[in-house]
Amino acid sequence: MKPRIVFASLLLSHLLVGLNCGCSKRETPVERATRENILLMGNPGEAETLDPHLVRGMYAGIITTSLMEGLVIYHPTDDTLPEPGVAEHWSHSDDFRTWTFHLRDNARWSNGDPVVAGDFVYSYKRMLSPALGAEFADMLYVLHNAEAYHQGEIEDFDLVGAKALDDHTLELRLEYPMPNFLNMLKHFYWLPVHPATIEKFGKIDSRLSTWTRPENYVGNGPFRLKEHVTNKGIIIEKSPTYWDADTVQLKEVHFLPFDRHDAEERAFRAGQIHYVSRVPINKIDFYLENYPELIHIDDYVLTYFYRLNVTRWPLTDERVRQALSLAIDRESLIKNVSLGRERPAHGYTPDGTAGYSTPQEVEYNPEKARALLEEAGFPNGKGFPTMDILYNTSETHKVVAEAIQQMWRKNLNLNFTLSNQEWKVYLNSQRELNYDVSRSAWVAGYIDPMAFLYMWTSDNGNNNTGWSNPHYDALIKKAYQTSDIEQRHAYLQQAETILLQDMPMIPLYWTTRIYIMSPDVKNWNPKLLDNRPLKYIYLESS
């Protein structure tokens, strides 16, 4: 056994014994936090913003959905079920195009104001305001005339399908039949904001506003923002005005940023955090063998993939993009590198999502890859420029990039360099197409194959590849317009086949969710989206 593993084992054993013995010792931060009902969570990097209409990334989304509450929220155990939020109950027309939501009388903002239907109408108008520049405004295009308003084709928001019938009744009219609309509403882009607060610190479409500072933030969720210090962490505390405050047992939740996996895991061993969001790959087997009660491997609907900047030569040639994909041995990548019990991806959408069958277009075939590369004018890699793989700072992303770098060198005789950037810089590079190849991942906001495939439509804020295909766009639109599940899946399969043939991104694997957690954390259930309402979590010393 390697000395460093022995050391880690002894250190963790010492920690665990110390946590359970009756001897006199200094109280660890975790012990004190458990006693005080404060959850300490590791968080991978810094949240760009806590504005629900501008937020990027799942971790910032988890924080935001604790500060704001939508019409429906994530169910504590089943991601396919809607859980009532601000809406106490709802109904829909026979064709699933008109939905009526009845808001609870006791819903309150953190400043004491009542939450009313007009707040949601204002919030949807804000999200769709062209000047706000919300990158994911198209998430709301299912509303009647929402796209036309966002594109500036109409100026009267009253023509959009969002109307407050009275303070506690909200009517939403959709462009298409949407039997799965409730699950879409769980996403943080449908969260409300407090209109008076937005107007106090700017205008409805002000992107640079101070309203998200702790002293200004007004939310309606189970927690309110207490502290936000860049690179130090975010603290949220139980909101006394929340309609279901009696259910909330946590006094506070501290989100502590860690840029490195190993630093986060060391903090856990030192008794500084309850929860490790990312486990170093060289520690997975160690925990499984020695402390299986601490490590969790949950099913997860996330695709790990590489974006390709199709505006940069020679990635402008789909034969080159196909060759890069064909030269990657995904089975080897999972078995020898990532070590997270993933599934090799034969398409983009995780197979089986809501009964969807993913096209089997992705394979490992180095011989075919070399033939395509030669056909594109690069026999044995000759004449191919040195290009770069960009990834955000992470040991896992680094070793995966190194493995793919070696595969492309071995199978195609191509030279790729590696570059890592901190989270915010990396996101901006991706958004501005300032990269060649970029490490990426996508987790659905709701359980539906559409939650994966809509992002590749032209001008979508999540596309970030420069790729556009009108036929793909048309098929996605057809899928939106039908309520027949089989026909809908057929359109989506046709669209995904186009995506995988054009290959603006390279699917690598469908991942699992691996994390380490103190047994003090209770009522934390496995979730396909890894998005559980913190209002149901509590702490109890073990």
Write down all domains in the chain, each with its CATH number in brackets.
Answer: 3-45+232-297+514-539 (3.40.190.10), 58-219 (3.90.76.10), 302-512 (3.10.105.10)
Concatenated DSSP letters for 154-181? ---GGGSSEEEEETTEEEEEBSS--TTH
- Residues in a beta bridge with 305: 440, 507
- CA 286-288-290 angle, to 5 degrees, is 65
> What's phi and psi for 108, nearest 5 deg?
-135, 150
Q: Which tokens is 286 given?
A: 């160690």
Is 436 within 8 Å of 385 (Cβ atoms)? no
- Residues in a beta bridge with 442: 303
Query: Which DSSP symbol is given to 506?
Result: E
Long-range CB contact pairs, 4-8, < 8 A, 24+: 5/286, 8/269, 8/283, 8/286
Is 461 within 8 Å of 132 (Cβ atoms)? no
Is 53 within 8 Å of 41 (Cβ atoms)? no
What number of CA atoms fall less than 13 Å from residue 3's CA on the CB side?
0
Distances (CA, A) of 507 to 386, 454, 481: 22, 16, 27
Strands 343-344 and 72-74: unpaired
> What's phi and psi for 492, nearest 5 deg?
-65, -35
Q: For the chain, how far is it from start to end, CA to CA, in angstroms?
A: 30
Whole-angstrom distance, CA of residue 264 vs CA of residue 432? 30
The sign of the torsion formed by the CA atoms of 240, 243, 249, 250 equals negative
**Which residues have CB under 8 Å from 143's CB, separation 6+?**
124, 160, 161, 162, 172, 173, 174, 175
Whole-angstrom distance, CA of residue 266 vs CA of residue 234? 20
Query: Which DSSP symbol is given to 39?
Result: E
The sign of the torsion formed by the CA atoms of 223, 228, 231, 232 equals negative
- Chain Cα centroid distance, residue 389: 21
Q: Which tokens is 206 given?
A: 């002000």
DSSP E strand boundaries for 75-175: 82-84, 87-92, 98-103, 162-166, 169-173
Whole-angstrom distance, CA of residue 135 vs CA of residue 170? 25
Distances (CA, A) of 348 to 5, 100, 532: 36, 34, 25
Residue 30's nearest CA partner among 15, 44, 45 is 15
Whole-angstrom distance, CA of residue 45 vs CA of residue 219? 23
User: For the purposes of burial, counting CB atoms within 10 Å of the CB of 110, is it exposed (0-12), middle (13-18) or buried (19 or more)?
Assistant: buried
**Which residues have CB under 8 Å from 156's CB, separation 6+?**
none
User: For the purposes of burial, counting CB atoms within 10 Å of the CB of 94, is it exposed (0-12), middle (13-18) or buried (19 or more)?
Assistant: exposed
Does residue 130 have a cis peptide bond before it, meaning omega lies within 30 degrees of 0? Answer: no
Alpha helices, H only, 173-301: 181-184, 195-200, 261-269, 284-290
What number of CA atoms fall less than 13 Å from residue 152's CA on the CB side?
4
For the chain, the residue count is 542
Q: Torsion angle of alpha carbons 319, 324, 327, 331, nearest 10°?
A: -130
- pLDDT at residue number 24: 52
DSSP E strand boundaries for 357-455: 387-392, 416-421, 437-443
Distances (CA, A) of 24 to 13, 28, 397: 17, 12, 42
Residue 474's nearest CA partner among 490, 457, 488, 487 is 457
Is 129 within 8 Å of 193 (Cβ atoms)? no
- pLDDT at residue number 262: 87
Tens digit of pLDDT at every position of the chain (542 positions): 333 333 333 334 444 444 444 445 788 999 999 999 999 999 877 777 899 999 877 778 889 999 999 999 999 998 888 999 999 999 999 999 999 999 999 999 999 999 999 999 999 999 999 999 998 898 899 999 999 999 999 999 999 999 999 999 999 999 988 888 998 999 889 999 999 999 999 999 998 899 999 999 999 999 999 999 887 899 999 999 999 999 999 999 999 988 788 899 999 999 999 999 888 888 988 999 999 999 999 988 899 999 999 999 999 999 999 999 999 999 999 988 876 678 999 999 999 888 899 999 999 999 999 999 999 999 999 999 999 999 988 778 999 999 999 999 999 999 999 999 988 899 899 999 999 999 999 987 788 899 899 999 998 888 999 999 999 999 998 998 887 889 999 999 999 999 999 999 999 999 888 999 999 999 999 988 888 899 999 999 98
486, containing H or E segment: helix 485-502
